[in-house]
Amino acid sequence: MNPSMIPASREDAAALDATDPLQAYHDHFDLPEGVVYLDGNSLGPPPRASLNKLRDTAEREWKDQLIASWNDAGWIDLPKKCGAKIASLIGAAPDDVLVCDSVSVNIFKLVSALYLARKAVSEPCAIAYETDEFPTDGYILQGLAKLTGTSLKKIASNGPDAAFADGIKIVVKSVVHYKSAAITDIAAWERAAEKNDAVIVWDLSHATGVIALNMQRVGARYGVGCGYKYLNGGPGAPAFIYVAKKAAEELDQPLSGWMGHAAPFDFADGYLPAPGVKRFACGTPPILSLSALDGALDVFDGIDMHAVEEKAKKLGDLFLARAMALDLTSASPGLDKQRGGHVSLRFGHSYEVVQALIAKGVIGDFRQPDIMRFGFSPLFLTYTQVWDAVDILGNILATEEWRKPEFAIRRTVT
């Protein structure tokens, strides 16, 4: 949003709400009264369709139809069905996305498969991730490096041209940075990877459902992402894996479970991988979680992701402009800059301020060492809610209410 167009009053914010093209989506969600939920970037709220689908799966399909529901209710097809819905949001072919496992497990499967393919032709193959990447990505790669004995490197955030030195052939990188919300130029990185005969596994966790993506158009062939953030699939919702079909056919993933078999119900002794991304399935799919995600994804049917991204940016700009007036420091790209669906602020007592905000019904989260992080999910948030949230933040800072002892008590999940 051009800084000159940022609402100057609550009335201006209300005027934006009145003309919001996404306004009708607000009623799809079931949120507590009086809560301003600025944590959809960590856990999306429940869509009504998701809760209804979950109830139907548990109380009718499971309770009444029992095991017949694997066929009659289409349980066995849910990983592909949900994958096709996600594919439409990331610009992938419907058959190239599968919902399965967690982001961590999917990174392991995909990077392992890529590493084994390189090793099979005796190519040197160092693996790398950025120094400030989301921790689980690095942890998984550290474990994989120990298992395989391959070289693991950390690279600085200096852009794609500097990323593929020292024999680096596989890079894991987020599209939207989990702290700053900076958006990566996927096409530029893919061009650099191709030039260096390397590949990139994209972590789409903080991007899917909030920014417009077109993985096929920019030449991206590999990706993983979660279902519980902007996709609103519920706590612990299963993740997804994206592998372009031609690329998938060349890979053998190491967790060769029976659901990744070409004919799992033949119960054959030998493993024969399924075609395409289906070979990246492993164990039995978690049907209740998949059903909740399936219902949540219906909310996105026919949605214009460019409109979603535009509103996320406008909400973030409104919040950021008013927060800067409180003398807070931004850890995110500034006003009218390309940014994902959240804004991060620095403050010496960020944890305590976030707890004070939560006590007043404004829910954000804290990230070490000093980050207050606020997500702006465009489907249920309004401009007036964001305006009010900054008013509450300003009051907490002005009164120093955050100094109350109860707000300093560290909880397990921050």
Contact 163, 128 (CB under 8 A): yes
- The pLDDT of residue 361 is above 70: yes
Pick the catalytic residue: 230, 373, 374, 380? 373
Contact 99, 83 (CB under 8 A): yes
- What was the pLDDT predicted at 166? 85
Pick the catalytic residue: 96, 203, 294, 317? 203
Q: Tokens in use for 141?
A: 């790669």
**What's the fold here for domain 53-298?**
Aspartate Aminotransferase; domain 2 (3.40.640)
- What was the pLDDT predicted at 123? 72
Q: Classify the phi-psi angles of 292: left when phi > 0, otherwise alpha if psi is within -120 to 50, otherwise beta.
A: alpha
Q: Tokens in use for 407?
A: 């707000």
For the chain, give every domain's residue range.
3-47+304-408, 53-298
Q: Which helix (H) or strand (E) holds 193?
A: helix 186-195
Q: Is 229 a catalytic residue?
A: yes
- What was the pLDDT predicted at 293? 98
- What was the pLDDT predicted at 161? 84
- Coil, helix or strand for 261? strand
DSSP 136-181: HHHHHHHHHHHHH---EEEE-SS-GGGSS-TTEEEEEEESB-TTT-
pLDDT category at 314 given cuts 50, 70, 90 is very high
Q: What is the mean pLDDT of residues 157-163?
A: 83
- The pLDDT of residue 118 is above 90: no
269: number of Cβ within 10 Å: 5
Quote the radius of gyration of the chain (alpha carbons, Å). Answer: 22
- What was the pLDDT predicted at 35? 96
- Coil, helix or strand for 208? coil
- What was the pLDDT predicted at 122? 65
Pick the catalytic residue: 169, 229, 313, 339? 229
Instruction: Of 10-19, 46-55, 159-168, 298-307, give the lowest mean pLDDT range.
Output: 159-168
Pick the catalytic residue: 29, 108, 129, 134? 134
pLDDT category at 133 given cuts 50, 70, 90 is very high
Q: Is 166 a catalytic residue?
A: no
Q: Which residue has the tokens 């079931």?
A: 30
pLDDT category at 395 given cuts 50, 70, 90 is very high
The overall average pLDDT reported for the chain is 95
pLDDT category at 4 given cuts 50, 70, 90 is low
351: number of Cβ within 10 Å: 24
Nearest C-alpha neighbor of 127 from the set 158, 177, 166: 166
Pick the catalytic residue: 228, 240, 280, 407? 228
Q: What share of the chain in percent tops pLDDT 90? A: 93
pLDDT category at 165 given cuts 50, 70, 90 is confident
Q: What is the mean pLDDT of residues 316-340?
A: 94
pLDDT category at 30 given cuts 50, 70, 90 is confident
Peptide bond into 264 cis (omega under 30): no
- The pLDDT of residue 275 is above 90: yes
* CATH code assigned to 3-47+304-408: 3.90.1150.10
Distance of alpha carbon 242 from alpha carbon 225, whole angstroms: 9
- The pLDDT of residue 2 is above 80: no
Q: Is 228 a catalytic residue?
A: yes
